[in-house]
Amino acid sequence: MNTSLARLLLAIAVTACSAPETTPTADAGEAVVARVTSRLRPGIVAKGAAPVTYSLAERMARHKVPGISVAVADSGRIVWARGFGLKETGTPDSVSAATLFQAASISKPVAATVLLRLVDEGKLSLDVPVNDYLKSWTLPDNKFTASTKVTLRHLVTHTAGTTVHGFPGYAATDSVPSVPQILDGTKPANTSAVRVDTTPGARWRYSGGGITIEQLAMTDVTGEDFPSLARRLVLEPAGMSSSTYEQPLPASRRVEAAAGYRPDGVMVEGRWHTYPEMAAAGLWTTPTDLLKWAIEVTAARSGKSTKVLSRKMATDMLTMQKEPSGLGPMLDGKGRGFNFGHGGANEGYRCQVLYFPETGQGAAVMTNSDAGDALARELLYALAAEYKWADYGPREIEPVVLDSATLRQVAGEYPVPRAVTGAPKSVSQIMTVENGKLYAEVPGFVPKVEMVLIADDRLISPETGFEVQLQRKAGGAIDGINIGSAILRKKK
């Protein structure tokens, strides 16, 4: 599921294995891998607390994550890649550096590279109304588009005002809709229609629905199916030889892929879901290939390569449009700490890619579990410490004691608008109090985690980083919570 509500975890004990993808630098090798995998760090720490580290095996067991794959870049090249754990529990199938995972929303910045390649070639413009390019479907106009039309720039930067945050995909037994059916929310689509409900350009709001319109514009203009288009324009030129946007994954390649798992350790029915929303969620890849993409974009930005993008286009891609988005990637940091990347959350998979173009450092981490997000962050923090990434490390918080009156006010059920999840069924955030502690869960999306209060009425899970803001009435009573851009009102 591509939604900020689903960025949490669990795990399963597994055995580490695999071989290096590339020859490591003199200081890399097994000693570096051993240090990194024995020094995972929590993503959130209390200010002044003693440092805490974990082993990778320990955290995989804690989070119930069957398998994880990582690739690491330093000085502008991939220095090592490893797989740990299992592609499928109950089998001897070990994860290797070549194992395929669903990249989920990391599909978006790679697909944006396809879009920008078409802009470089003069086949598309970022600032022309997208309806000028659409042939098989039209984005309905309404009062929000009366003065400002939706453009590809709006779509790729999540500023189009389009609905549908993310997609749950389709189980192996489901019928798979066409892209126009998805965009209109008609059967067999399992998400609501993608429509504009705020003025284009007015604000940033994540929208997988908008990226799916972007996908359709690319295929309508070129006449190519998206997997072929992406392979020709980006995957092959960047050397991403393991990657594909084919959905479903061809039967001949199933043996290469890791099966997806739920937070309770149960396999996703049919091993994984199919995502016809390919640009938004459909990329199958490896951490090594994701770093090849990041390195190639960086090379284009510095004028050292034009295999995929021109220097100007790569520069624009990594220039902030409306925080936190560039033209596809998410951007953060300044100077040596400037970085680009993206996270991913499909059914049964959680992934991260992060790259520092000024230093040539970065990593990609892919897991086959809904509970893999925290584990990926913990591994990234270990890598940051080992390779001395600039301005990157665990977040410090100062917890505030939750009094009994606040606990009583917060506890309850908070229905989540369907526009947030994109799912056809309504869900709720449940806040409960147990032994004087506050817990949050979204059944079916987010497992139960402890929440602590920090400054400015914010609640955060120290284990996962999941964060909400308390909403108060004029008199100070709590009647809702804010998750991202969605305000959830307490059910009475």
Domain interval for residue 417:
404-489
CATH number at residue 107: 3.40.710.10
**End position of a domain, from candidates 365, 397, 429:** 397
Our count of domains for the chain comes to: 2
**End position of a domain, from candidates 371, 397, 423:** 397
Distance, in Å, from the CA atom of 328 to the CA atom of 341, rounded to the nearest integer, reads 9
* Strand pairing class (395-397; 44-46): parallel
pLDDT tens readout for residues 217-259:
999 999 999 999 999 999 999 999 999 999 999 999 999 999 9
Q: Which residue has the tokens 């284990």?
A: 463
Do residues 294 and 368 both lie within one domain? yes
Distance, in Å, from the CA atom of 189 to the CA atom of 2, rounded to the nearest integer, reads 16
**Alpha helix positions (H), 274-390:** 278-281, 287-301, 311-317, 372-387
User: How do the pLDDT tens digits run along the chain, 492 residues long?
Assistant: 333 333 322 222 222 333 333 333 434 589 999 999 999 998 888 888 888 899 999 999 999 999 999 999 999 999 999 999 999 999 999 999 999 999 999 999 999 999 999 999 999 999 999 999 999 999 999 999 999 999 999 999 999 999 999 999 999 999 999 999 999 999 999 999 999 999 999 999 999 999 999 999 999 999 999 999 999 999 999 999 999 999 999 999 999 999 999 988 999 999 999 999 999 999 999 999 999 999 999 999 999 999 999 999 999 999 999 999 999 999 999 999 999 999 999 999 999 999 999 999 999 999 999 999 999 999 999 999 999 999 998 889 999 988 999 999 999 999 987 766 655 567 899 999 999 999 998 886 677 889 999 988 999 998 888 899 999 988 888 889 988 768 898 888
Instruction: Give the model's pLDDT for residue 28.
Output: 54
Do residues 370 and 415 both lie within one domain? no
Do residues 389 and 351 both lie within one domain? yes
Phi-psi region of 483 (alpha: psi -120 to 50; beta: other; left: phi over 0): beta
Do residues 40 and 158 both lie within one domain? yes
Find how far residue 104's CA is from the centre of its chain. Answer: 6
- The two tokens of residue 116 are 């920008």
Distance, in Å, from the CA atom of 100 to the CA atom of 95, rounded to the nearest integer, reads 9
pLDDT tens readout for residues 416-467:
877 666 555 678 999 999 999 999 988 866 778 899 999 889 999 988 888 9
- Cα torsion 246, 113, 169, 285 to 10°: value is 60
- To the nearest 5 percent, what fractions of the chain are helix, strand and coil? 30, 25, 45
Residue 487, judged by CB atoms within 10 A of its CB (0-12, 13-18, 19+), counts as middle
Sign, Cα dihedral of 140, 143, 144, 145: positive
pTM for the whole structure: 0.85
Beta bridge partners of residue 346, listed in sequence order: 349
Do residues 100 and 150 both lie within one domain? yes
